[in-house]
Amino acid sequence: MFELTFDDTTLGKEDSSFKLSRISPSMIVLYLSCPLAFYYAYIAKIEIPQTRLHLLFGSGVHKAVEDMYAGSKDPFESFKKVFLREELDPEGQARFTEYYMLGQEMIKNYLEFHPTLDKLYSLQAGSQEHRFKECVANPITGEMSRIPLSGILDRLTDGNKIIEYKTSKTLWKADETRFKVQSLLYNLWFYTKFGKIADETLYFVLLKKYRQTKRDSVVQVISYKPTLEDLAGAWEEVDFILDKIESGAFERPQFGHPPYCDCFKYERVLGIKSH
């Protein structure tokens, strides 16, 4: 029988059995939303069944944009090779045609907007899918993080711009937590690597919708540039979260916790009765 083992609360970080080999923006976001879900996912390493429809769809659209920058003459074919009906569960297969047609529309919309975006932001010159796993520095104190930060930048332009592509049903809010965490940590890595803040971080949000009029918004652009104080604060916040993880702080939030949180899904898989 599975048992929760939050037994390191009296240990120092050097003795903790909850040490991680890396940290990423998505891991930080999960811990902030629910430490217990983080425990199940990254400490106990429990797997839960997940529908792959939205994940595979997003990967297909992302691959189409990526291949377009790599010189592909047919990004629609790139989408088709990733978004495969046979890779989906029965529920996803039932909606395959709906999402396949939507993906084709979103790629077409981005291709139409790309010349304008490239003229405004000089996107063409740069490297696609920049992977990293490195320790990052507090830009004010110079202290290095205790474990590496890992991530994948969708695009890094020669003009020192960080580019991220997202898909969404609705327009993003610039102050959204997930957006802030990823932006700050990617910029923290950039500052450590190059000794300066990126000129701009741009999110291109491809909206999951069909274009109804010529002026209909189907690609949203969000621009962001942090200060050194922002980056130092992000470094300190990550260090504080690692302290909490290493001390075994994995309790479920007591108030306002949504019933659809993954922590409940893990417990259903494990046969644990939620309290």
pLDDT value at 72 more than 90: no
Q: What average pLDDT does the chain have?
A: 89
Residue 209 has which token pair?
């919708």
Give the three-class secondary structure for 60: helix
**Contact criterion met (CB below 8 Å) for 164 and 205:** no
H or E element, residue 236:
helix 228-246
Looking at residue 1, its pLDDT comes to 43
Within the chain, strands assigned E span 126-134, 149-157, 161-168, 200-207, 219-224
β-pairing, 200-207 with 161-168? parallel
Report d(CA 149, CA 132) in Å as an integer: 8
Q: In this structure, what DSSP letter does residue 40 have?
A: I
**Which residue reads 């377009």 in tokens?**
68
pLDDT value at 78 more than 80: yes
Across the range 45-59, mean pLDDT stands at: 89
Across the range 216-244, mean pLDDT stands at: 94
Looking at residue 272, its pLDDT comes to 81
**Contact criterion met (CB below 8 Å) for 27 and 182:** no
Looking at residue 127, its pLDDT comes to 84
Report d(CA 275, CA 257) in Å as an integer: 12
Least confident of 95-109, 221-235, 257-271: 257-271
Least confident of 13-17, 121-125, 200-204, 263-267: 13-17
Looking at residue 14, its pLDDT comes to 57
The 3-class SS string of 152-201 reads: EEEEEECCCEEEEEEEECCCCCCCCHHHHHHHHHHHHHHHHHHCCCCCEE
Question: 274 or 94: whose pLDDT is higher?
Answer: 94
Looking at residue 4, its pLDDT comes to 60
Looking at residue 175, its pLDDT comes to 76
Helix 75-82, helix 96-121: angle, nearest 10: 140
Torsion-angle region of residue 256: left (phi > 0), alpha (psi -120 to 50) or beta?
A: left
Query: What pLDDT, in 10s, does the model give residues 131-190?
Result: 999 999 999 999 999 999 999 999 998 889 999 999 999 998 877 766 789 999 999 999
Torsion-angle region of residue 129: left (phi > 0), alpha (psi -120 to 50) or beta?
A: left
Spacing of C-alpha 120 from chain mean position: 25
Q: Indicate the pLDDT class of residue 125, thresholds 50, 70 and 90.
A: confident
Of the candidates 266, 2, 3, 216, the one whose C-alpha atom is nearest the C-alpha of residue 112 is: 216
